[in-house]
A and B are shown apart, each in its own frame.
Chain A
Amino acid sequence: MTDTPQNPMQQLWQQQPAEGIHMSIEEIRRRAAKFEKRIIWMNAREYFAGAIGMALMGFFLVRAHDNLSRIGFGLTMAGLAYALLHLYFKGRPGTASEQVGVQCANFFLEELERTRKLVDNLWWYLGPLVPGLVVLTIAPALANPQPAVLLRLAIVDLFIAGAFVLVIRLNKRAARCLQKQIDELRSLQATP
């Protein structure tokens, strides 16, 4: 239902040929159930990579020759589990039925805020991995304190630290971009 068109472009828009697609309630229920299943699989896929990482750490934990290495792999597994749980609780987009009927600016703001927080607080994901990685560096150094081994470990550590810094910087830049969009949106709401 629309108001009487005033502008010829409104008329043109509203007179577009339409297919008149209709779905019965039964069809909606069926497709909603299918849609839910698809979402469950999509979510499962996102956790699959984390699960592989944890399985790998578990494998190394079992195969490790000393206790310090076992602790290192165990801490890394715990860190991965924590990061996945944090992602599960904080990473939900605002597409649930109870949010979808809010004013568009608020819906969009909510989405932008959620994404900004996610990319701006990467330590929640990277931080828990640090203790395990530190222990895993110390363990072989203590077991075999040869200069060549120490040098190799230092290079690995530098590479990991560099990757962390790069990821954090890229995400900080994305967070600034998102904050700019949030500020623009708030100013559009604030003006009387």
Chain B
Amino acid sequence: MIATKAIPARKSSQDTLYEEAADTFGLALERLTRAYEADPDHRRDLLQEIHIALWRSFATFDQRCSLRTWVYRVAHNVGASHVARQYRNRLQTLAGLEELEALADPQSGESAADRTLTLQKLFELIHKLKPLDRDVILSYLEGLGAHEIGEITGLSAQNVATKIHRIKNILTRIYNEGGQIRD
């Protein structure tokens, strides 16, 4: 059962905030959506869902965090709910960063010496991750710092630092497997 809420018809600061967020973070939201849904049709629906959730969320945005932090929180939470709906009781089959770091094989023969293949490998890895680890790696890839990742995810500073360390190791392996990335 899903909760519903009446939609206000008036033009307000909610609209202004949404427009600012969509203009500034629209491309980042598209990238995040790709990390939560591989199927293009479902991805469009998810992106739409994120935009609607974002617009609705600005009705209660109290500016206690930055606009960027808020936008990423909303996007990650909607994305995680989407993954939970997809997997239902299979959430435990998703892996943590520590498991993937241990599994990554630097000698795996296949070379991914171009952007597309390297990105494909990155997406394959992201799609295997548990929701919170996925939030951390996506925030890191978007260029956010450890403090802001902590603000978004609610993880302790020490845990964010550990996870980023693991992420860097995994990303370096993927990058090295692909050799020098070509356009």
Q: Which of A61-69, A74-82, A181-189 contacts B (4 or more CB under 8 A)?
A: A181-189
Q: How far is the CB of A90 from chain B (nearest CB, A)?
A: 9
Structural contact, B31 and A191, CB atoms closer than 8 A? no
| Chain B, Cβ-Cβ closest to A36 | B4
Across the interface, do B61 and A95 meet the contact criterion of CB distance under 8 Å? no
What is the count of residue pairs linking A and B with beta-carbon distances less than 8 angstroms? Answer: 185
List chain B residues, Cβ under 8 A from A43: 1-2, 4
- Do A107 and B80 have beta carbons less than 8 Å apart? yes
Return chain A residues, CB-CB under 8 Å to B7: 29, 32-33, 36
CB-contacts of A68-127 with B (<8 A): 87-88, 91-93, 95-108, 111
A10 touches B140 (CB 8 A): yes
**Which of B52, B155, B157 has its CB near the most chain A CB atoms (within 10 A)?**
B52
Select from chain B the residue with minimum beta-carbon distance to A177.
Answer: B92
B53 on the A face (CB < 8 A): yes
List of A residues within 8 angstroms of B175 by Cβ: 8-9
Contacts of A18 on B, CB cut-off 8 Å? 27, 30-31
Which of chain A's residues 170-192 have a Cβ closer than 8 Å to chain B?
174, 177, 181, 185, 188-192
Q: A43 to B70, alpha carbons, bound, how many Å?
A: 28
Q: Of A19-27, A136-144, A148-156, A160-168, which stretch is located at the interface?
A: A19-27
Does A88 contact B153, Cβ atoms closer than 8 Å?
no
Q: In the complex the two chains form, is B22's CB within 8 Å of A22's CB?
A: yes
> Does A31 count as interface, using CB distance less than 8 angstroms?
yes
Q: Are A102 and B53 in contact (CB under 8 A)?
A: no
Interface contact A35-B49, CB-CB below 8 Å: yes
- A contact residues around B174 at 8 Å (CB): 9
Known pairs A9-B141, A16-B119, A93-B81; A100 contacts B1 (CB<8 A): no
| Contact, CB under 8 Å: B143 / A188 | no
Tell whether A9 pairs with B122 under 8 Å between CB atoms, given A28-B51, A101-B73, A103-B151: yes
Across the interface, A91 reaches (CB within 8 A) one of B1, B52, B119, namely: B1
CB of B42 within 8 A of chain A? no
Which residues of A are at the interface with B, using a C-beta cutoff of 8 A? 1-10, 12-14, 16, 18-23, 25, 28-29, 31-33, 35-36, 39-40, 42-43, 46, 87-88, 91-93, 95-108, 111, 174, 177, 181, 185, 188-192
- 12 further A-B contacts with Cβ under 8 Å, apart from A101-B61, A103-B152, A111-B81, are A25-B19, A42-B2, A95-B81, A97-B56, A100-B57, A100-B74, A100-B77, A104-B80, A104-B154, A107-B77, A188-B159, A192-B158
A-binding residues in B (CB < 8 A): 1-5, 7, 9, 11, 15, 18-19, 22, 24-28, 30-31, 34, 47-49, 51-53, 55-57, 59-61, 68, 70, 73-74, 76-78, 80-81, 84, 89, 91-92, 115, 118-119, 122, 131-132, 135, 140-145, 151-159, 168, 171, 174-175, 181
12 contacts between A and B (CB under 8 A): A9-B175, A10-B140, A12-B115, A20-B26, A20-B27, A36-B7, A39-B4, A42-B2, A46-B1, A97-B60, A100-B73, A177-B92
